[in-house]
Structure 1
Amino acid sequence: MVQVYKKTHSYPEPPATSLLAFFLRYPNPFARHVLSVDVLDRTVDPVTGRIHTTRLILKRGILPKWATRWLPSSATSGGSGLDAWIYEESIVDPPGWGKGRKDLGAEGEDFGKQPRLRMQQGNLNHRKAMHVIEGGDLRAGPNGQVPSLSTTLHHTTAEVRSYLGGTWSSLIRKRIESYGLGKFEGNSETSRKGMSLILQLLRYRHPLPETAEFEFFPPPPPGFSESWTDMPEAASWQEPKEGSPKSFFLSPANLRAWARKRRED
């Protein structure tokens, strides 16, 4: 039996900022199960202006450990153990994508004036044991009954399937699919927290707690407000130490190197 997940939540930011945060959300403290992210391809359609992006993401522990007894030894060859390679495709529609779309209605045309992101991803390995297909849609959302340019709605859908066969296969599939759905629900909540954190970083240029002595990189776009330290969360912000680097790439390797240096000191 296929397990289905649907949820919608909103971010108090315009779509352009939320779409940028989507591509910058890794790494963050709420996504420690994400080991690496690589951009395989990114193109811009010269006619439609759409941005097409393909990424490969390595995530830790997509399957429960007890499921290994039904997996062939070759199934754990990608990543480490039960780690999973995730193939992600996304399309960013430019502002004005809803122009002339009668099917959207008057309200939909207002939403269509802002950029929109559509995404789909699924695991490449362990698909027989559990195949998770996730879809996402980020677009301008309503503020009450009025379309708002400062709110982004994030619609998330997911299907969890297991194709394991053999004796007692139905019970095993149901157990794996239930596990996968529960795992996805938990990761969806932490993903929302990670997105909210990155949105704060973009809004206030606030560094991650683990890298508080470094300046956040990349810098904000021209014209971005310099009053970012006025945010309420800035009470925990630390002034950069004298002689510290001016910028810091928030990559897992740099985070590990920085933590190792702190322990040695």
Structure 2
Amino acid sequence: MRYFTQAFDYDHSWSKVVIGMWHKYPNPHCTHVMSVDVVDRSVDPQTGIIRTERILGCKQRAPTWIVKLFGGSEDAFVREISFVDPTTQTMTISSVNLSLAQFAVCNESIRYSPTPDGRTRFTQSAEIESRMALWHSVADRLESWLATRFEQNAQSGKLGFTDVLRQLWEEHGSEQHQHA
């Protein structure tokens, strides 16, 4: 099993970051995300918690040895479930790959929460595990490749989301000040 974790703060309030999440894709840093489809969205009338389930369609170029061994295509799908809790000001997201899940699973967890200084703390973790116990060397290579690809995509996601937030709030805010 491989693990990935990262944490950092965005220079925007929690509410702006949560709004920005719905505008994250498409962006030029995350060209592997081709589509985002909302499957379900509901609001709990008691708590105000918003639950959203989405399917992300991605294109991932896999090494030739993976395609030859497992088949498949560049198309991959990920199931994402998020909860936005306006009372506690937390947004949690969990995602899991749907494609090739019989060979390997990547469980990702994300949390956005406010910091005392008005920024937003982002924490992300992922567990990547091969499901091929009999083929240890192949399983190890697959986990290694998946972990590397996940880390690359996580860094691209950070850059892309930073740009999205800048476009939504900083550029837009300066335009409002110019027109005032």
Q: TM-score higher than 0.5 here?
A: yes
Shift of 1:61: 1.4
Contact 1:63 1:130 in 2 (8 A): no
1:147-226 pair list within 5 angstroms: 147-148=116-117, 150-164=118-132, 166=134, 169-205=135-171, 226=176
Tell me which residue corresponds to 1:46: 45
Aligned-residue offset at 1:204: 3.4
What is the total number of aligned residue pairs between the two structures?
A: 179
* Equivalent position of 2:113 in the other structure: 139
Q: Is 1:22 aligned to residue 21 of structure 2?
A: yes
Q: How big is the shift at 1:225? A: 6.4
Give SS of 2:51's match. strand
Distance 2:102 2:138 in 1: 12
Percent identity over the alignment is 27
C-alpha distance in 2 between matches for 1:138 and 1:225: 27
Which structure exhibits the higher relative contact order, with contacts defined as CA atoms closer than 8 Å and separated by 6 or more residues? 2
2: CA distance between counterparts of 1:26 and 1:197?
Answer: 11
Q: What value does the CA root-mean-square deviation take over the aligned residues?
A: 2.0
Work out the CA distance in 2 between the residues paired with 1:69 and 1:164. 16
- 1:87 and 2:79 are equivalent in the alignment: yes
**Partners of 1:35 and 1:125 in 2: CA distance:** 15
Unaligned runs of 5+ in 2: none
Unmatched tracts of structure 1, length 5 or more: 98-114, 142-146, 207-219, 230-265
Confirm or deny: 8 A CA contact 1:203 1:228 kept in the other structure. Answer: no
2: CA distance between counterparts of 1:228 and 1:199?
Answer: 19
1:30/1:193 contact within 8 Å kept: yes
Offset, 1:116: 1.2
Q: Give structure 1 regions of 4+ aligned residues with deviation exceeding 6 angstroms.
A: none
AA at the equivalent of 1:155: T
Q: Which has the larger radius of gyration?
A: 1
Q: Contact conserved, 1:205 with 1:228, CA < 8 A, in 2?
A: no
TM-score (norm 1): 0.63
Following TM superposition, by how much is the alpha carbon of 1:60 offset from its aligned partner in structure 2, in angstroms? 1.2
Answer yes or no: is 1:125 the counterpart of 2:96.
no
